[in-house]
Amino acid sequence: MTAWGLAWRTLVHNPARACLAIGGVAVIGALLFDMLLLSRGLLVSFRDLLDTAGYDVRVVANEGSPIHRAPLDGAPALADAIRRLPGVERVALLRTGNAMAMTPGHENTAAGVTLIGSTESAMSGAWDIVKGEPLPATVAAGQPTPLIVSTKLAELLGVGPGSPLRLRVSLGGGASALPALDCRVAGVGTFQFEAEDFYTVATTMAGFAAAQGAPESEGDADLVLVASAPGVGPEAAARAIAALRPDVRVYSNAQVVEQFNARAFTYFRQISVVLSSMTLVFAFLLVATLLTMSVNQRLGEVAALRALGFPRRRIAANLLCESALLVGVGGAAALPLGGALAVVLDRILRGMPGLPERLHFFVFEPRTMVLHAALLAATGFLAALYPVWLAARLPIAATLRREIVS
Amino acid sequence: MTGTAPIVEGRDLTRVFPMPAGAVTALGHVSIRIAAGEHVAITGPSGCGKSTLLHLLGCVDRPTGGSLFFEGRDTGALSESDRSRIRLNRIGFVFQRFFLLPMLTAWENVELPQAEAGASKSDRRARTRELLEYVGLTGRIDHRPSQLSGGEMQRVAIARALANRPALLLADEPTGELDEATGEQIADLFDRVHADGTAIVVVTHNPVVAARAGRRLAMKSGMVVAG
């Protein structure tokens, strides 16, 4: 019988002890799995969110923070210059602001929205039209400003394609004396960056400027989005843009993610490392205690096996296999348990205001499973060391004598 | 003592146990030779050093003085793994409390040392069947120790001890946990084992078991006083 077989039979022979150990490892392993998911989840989710927008380079003004930058002056000229670079496929300008949206005659039911101005009539990835049409390329004079409204806002205000809608920009997030702008819903769409408790409206750059009561600001932009040409890659495109315009800041998506990783996500990583370490210590203590107790209960058996000629390495192998089975079965059970727990925790954390609905804290990656397995395997191995030492170094004659006397 | 080459020979064996209250000499200057095919009983009061001597002869303990030769090899010069190999292949142990593995069946308990010694599956199967027939337990092969009586457990333990065809069978109070009738059955079994050519050293308080041995050694206070 192999060491694995003997270990298995030992566990089956003591079902209560085995179940307790496996249950304990499963619960601890589930927590560890969740901590590992949390350590990179937000980062992976954020990267995916950026990538789905279809643009891999971002250009912003030099002034301000990476999130809140000052507007870029002369953005159309900048966009044209970037567009002419050989490594660039597409360029879009973007503005963002806050506004109140209301249906005519129902001003008291206005909803606060994030207003996006874009040079693109459809930004697949940033928003996807589910009803109606994309923003028109041009708007005839006197025609109402076209809008794409989010599905949630459409539902809230009871509007759809063709419905009239009024926008009043709120400068600085406060009340505004600006006149409301008459608009028309061109389409309804889902916005990737929309938070659960927020509403979003997109319009043309001219529409955005008009809503702000400053048609002359149509040439401003908060952000230039650039899609690098296939085969060139975002890093090369970003370098080319930076060389072209040293007065602006250029980031590839990877660089944006890296910046967030180094700043905003550090807390999650640190919390995750601390809690992961704690769970590993618990797993170590649980398995080490149970195996040590098991060895202490079987000292006579172990001494007899040694007297019968079983070498130390065989005794050690039996215990290591026992530990591996406890941790292996418990670790496997931890995955579905941890997965279910992650869904619940993710839902709780995503309840924080202002987070894009598609942003997740717990994201599954194959490497997480590998890391989880490796950490538990190492813990199981370390936990078995003391009981293995205890059993392998057992004084055979003294133990046999003690077992008889007792 | 016989004139044939000894399987195991102890010369001036001493075993001292260090204790907090002072060293205790469990065995003092004992010399002993066990020849091939011999049947030796060691008797004496509790604490006289019988089991200590048996453990030294079985290479599970090292003497603090003197030397022990097993089949001509000085065991003091052997590594722990060499001594394990001798125990596995050349010595069989029978314990008072049987020490069968409780999670294994009678068959598996007997098969286990053979597997450890590297016997092939077919050889193991044949040998295990042979041994369980030998000890009269063919009807109990799938039973675990908890499903066997004391006598049956000791018979399984004897079969296990004989699994790798040892030259020397050591038994420490093999009838100590058994009633008189069952003890006699075990003594009969030892007679058969001896008749089949295996040397036996049995430590016992049981005069019936001791009487069956060809040579009887009496011990007292760590020394052989008669035999």
pLDDT tens digits along B73-125: 999 999 989 999 999 999 999 988 889 999 999 999 999 999 999 999 999 99
Task: Tell me the DSSP string of B62-131.
Answer: --SEEEEEETTEEGGGS-HHHHHHHHHHHEEEE-TT----TTS-HHHHHHHHHHHTT--HHHHHHHHHHH
Are A309 and B113 within 8 A, CB to CB?
A: yes
* Amino acid letter, residue A106: H
- Taking the CA atoms of chain B, what radius of gyration do you get in angstroms? 17
Chain segment A264-292, per-residue pLDDT in tens: 777 778 888 898 899 899 989 988 998 89
CB atoms within 10 A of CB A279: 24
Query: What percentage of chain B's residues is helix, strand, coil (to nearest 5)?
Result: 40, 25, 35
| The pLDDT value given to residue B69 | 94
- Give the mean pLDDT of A237-265: 87
Q: What is the dihedral sign for C-alpha A71, A72, A77, A80?
A: negative
For an interface test with A, the pick among B50, B101, B144 (most A C-beta atoms closer than 10 Å) comes out as B101
Give the percent of chain A with pLDDT over 70.
94
- Find out whether A89 and A230 touch, Cβ atoms under 8 Å: yes
Structure tokens at A18: 């085995």
CB atoms within 10 A of CB B40: 24
Are B97 and A306 within 8 A, CB to CB?
A: no
| The pLDDT value given to residue A210 | 85
* Amino acid letter, residue A43: L
**Cα–Cα–Cα angle for B51, B195, B55, nearest 5°?**
15
- Give the mean pLDDT of A89-111: 85
Chain segment A295-323, per-residue pLDDT in tens: 888 888 899 999 999 999 999 998 889 88
Chain segment A208-237, per-residue pLDDT in tens: 888 887 766 667 788 898 999 888 889 999
Q: How far apart are CA A384 and CA A378, in angstroms?
A: 10
A322: which chain B residues are within 8 Å (Cβ-Cβ)?
Answer: none
Chain segment A176-191, per-residue pLDDT in tens: 667 788 899 999 998 8
Q: How far apart are CA A393 and CA A241, in angstroms?
A: 68
Nearest-neighbour CA in chain A from B193: distance (Å):
18
Task: Tell me the DSSP string of A149-197.
Answer: EEHHHHHHHT--TT-EEEEEE-GGGS---SPPEEEEEEEEEEETT-BTT
Beta carbons within 8 Å of B113's beta carbon, 6+ residues apart: A308, A309, A310, B88, B160, B163, B164
Chain segment A395-406, per-residue pLDDT in tens: 998 898 887 776
Torsion angle defined by CA atoms of residues B200, A395, B86 and B33, in that order, rounded to the nearest 10 degrees: -40
Which of B81, B89, B97 comes nearest A300 by C-beta?
B97
Q: How far is CA A104 from CA A110, A155, B17, B199, in A?
A: 10, 16, 101, 110
3-class DSSP state of A105: coil
A264: buried, middle or exposed (CB in 10 Å: 19+, 13-18, 0-12)?
A: middle
A305: which chain B residues are within 8 Å (Cβ-Cβ)?
Answer: 101
For an interface test with A, the pick among B59, B64, B84 (most A C-beta atoms closer than 10 Å) comes out as B84
Q: Is the pLDDT of residue A69 over 70?
A: no
Are B88 and A300 within 8 A, CB to CB?
A: no
For an interface test with B, the pick among A400, A401, A403 (most B C-beta atoms closer than 10 Å) comes out as A400
CB atoms within 10 A of CB A152: 19
A396: which chain B residues are within 8 Å (Cβ-Cβ)?
Answer: 55, 60-61
Are A304 and B93 within 8 A, CB to CB?
A: yes
Beta strands in A205-360 (DSSP E): 223-228, 248-252
Residue for token pair 């994201």? A363
β-bridge pairing A181-191 and A145-150: parallel
Q: What is the largest CA-CA distance in chain A?
A: 106
Phi (first) and psi of residue A350, to 5 degrees: -75, -5
Chain segment A32-59, per-residue pLDDT in tens: 999 999 888 888 888 888 888 788 899 9
- Residues of chain B whose beta carbon is less than 8 angstroms from a beta carbon of chain A are 51-52, 55, 58, 60-61, 80-81, 84-89, 91-93, 95-97, 99, 101-104, 108, 111-113, 115-117, 160-161, 164, 172-173
Query: What residue spans define the domains of chain A?
Result: 3-50+265-405, 74-246
Are B103 and A307 within 8 A, CB to CB?
A: no
| The pLDDT value given to residue B2 | 45
Which of A12, A13, A301 comes nearest B99 by C-beta?
A301
Q: How far apart are CA A301 and CA A358, in angstroms?
A: 58
Residue for token pair 């008669």? B226
Nearest to B142 by CA among B104, B188, B85: B104
Are B172 and A400 within 8 A, CB to CB?
A: yes
| The pLDDT value given to residue A48 | 86
Q: What is the ipTM of this complex?
A: 0.90
| The pLDDT value given to residue A217 | 65
Phi (first) and psi of residue A202, to 5 degrees: -115, 145
Chain segment A105-126, per-residue pLDDT in tens: 877 778 888 899 888 766 666 7
B93: which chain A residues are within 8 Å (Cβ-Cβ)?
Answer: 304, 307-308
| The pLDDT value given to residue A65 | 62
- Give the mean pLDDT of A362-377: 92
Structure tokens at A96: 């963002």
* Amino acid letter, residue B184: E
Nearest residue of chain A to residue B177 (CA atoms): A404
Chain-wide mean pLDDT for chain A?
Answer: 86
With both helix axes pointing from N to C terminus, report the angle between A253-262 and A15-52 in degrees, rounded to the nearest 10. Answer: 130
Structure tokens at A270: 């640190």
Nearest residue of chain B to residue A5 (CA atoms): B104
Are A309 and B88 within 8 A, CB to CB?
A: yes
- Give the mean pLDDT of A120-140: 79
B103: which chain A residues are within 8 Å (Cβ-Cβ)?
Answer: 6, 9-10, 12-13
- Find out whether A357 and A195 touch, Cβ atoms under 8 Å: yes
Spell out the domains of chain B, with CATH numbers in brackets: 38-62+80-226 (3.40.50.300)
Which of B87, B93, B103 comes nearest A12 by C-beta?
B103
β-bridge pairing B91-94 and A248-252: unpaired
List, in sequence order, the alpha helices (H) in A298-311: 299-307
Compute the count of residue pairs across chains A and B with CB atoms less than 8 Å apart: 85
Nearest-neighbour CA in chain B from A307: distance (Å):
6
Q: What is the 3-state secondary structure (H, E, C) of A372-396?
A: HHHHHHHHHHHHHHHHHHHHHCCCH
Q: Is the pLDDT of residue A141 over 70?
A: yes
DSSP letter assigned to residue A221: B
Extract the residue ranges of chain B whose pLDDT is less than 50: 1-2
Chain-wide mean pLDDT for chain B?
Answer: 91
Nearest-neighbour CA in chain B from A379: distance (Å):
27
Q: How far is CA A78 from CA A86, A87, A302, in A?
A: 15, 15, 79
Q: How far is CA A143 from CA A122, A140, A207, A251, B28, in A?
A: 19, 6, 11, 37, 117
A392: which chain B residues are within 8 Å (Cβ-Cβ)?
Answer: none
Nearest to B172 by CA among A403, A297, A391: A403
Q: How far is CA B121 from CA A398, B111, B112, B124, B212, in A?
A: 34, 9, 11, 5, 36
